[in-house]
Amino acid sequence: MRLDRFLYHHSPHGRRDIRPLLAAGRVRVDGEVEKNSQHEIGDFTQVELDGVLLRSDTPVYLMLNKPAGYLSATTDSQHPTVMELIDERQTLHIAGRLDRASTGLLILTNDGKWSRRLTEPPQQKGEGVPKVYLVATADPITADTHAHFARGIYFAYEDLTTRPAGLEVLAPRQAKLTIYEGRYHQIKRMFHAVGNRVTALHRVSTGDIHLDPGLEPGQYRDLTAAEVSSIVPAHEIGPPPRRAS
């Protein structure tokens, strides 16, 4: 939204009053005097008029160590949700869900632009945020699984082939898997396509955001400024995130 429109909607002044008060230096944007009526106001821009804060939405970015048994949802009538573990549940949404039985890194935020960058499927080859999982399977992982995943697995329902995924076998029934998208039940469906079944799934990282080893299941903390800007450069997302308490 342009600054002049923002002032019209968030102050008692009429349209004709906006330009004179801007010219008089009575408006500050993120702490600096702003006289340009066309200045773009983002979701978390701080706007002051005569020293009075008209809006100050604070971006919040949280890392949760998701326990098994919790749904990645805001509400549910049958199962507990991850929001029940978070004090600020009213303002947050989940950026990249995990199945109820799955565990590990879950990110919650109120910044829609940032979360879309984190979760939306890439549009061009080479793009996409890598997501790393530890996977346990019912049967030994066959030697050709790596090649199948590297070529991509065809999903008939969506009529698409998954992007190449990296597989590192750690034990006969354990592996580290890196994917670059987040299709519905993607990892379970990939292993099912090669005749195996996932018995446990644990997300350890998304991009440069790694699950904090100090977080017990159910605990969470604020992301650091470096973790936030690793997904979207800081100049694209407005003011820095709230400091961890």
How far apart are the C-alpha atoms of 210 and 104, rounded to whole Å? 10
For residue 170, what are its two tokens? 């750690």
Of 30, 43, 99, 222, catalytic? 99
End-to-end CA distance of the chain: 32
Q: What's phi and psi for 45, nearest 5 deg? A: -70, 135
- Strands, DSSP E only, in 78-225? 93-95, 103-109, 131-137, 154-155, 160-161, 166-171, 174-179, 198-206, 209-210, 220-222
Q: Is 99 a catalytic residue?
A: yes
How far apart are the C-alpha atoms of 192 and 201, rounded to whole Å? 14
Active-site annotation, residues: 99
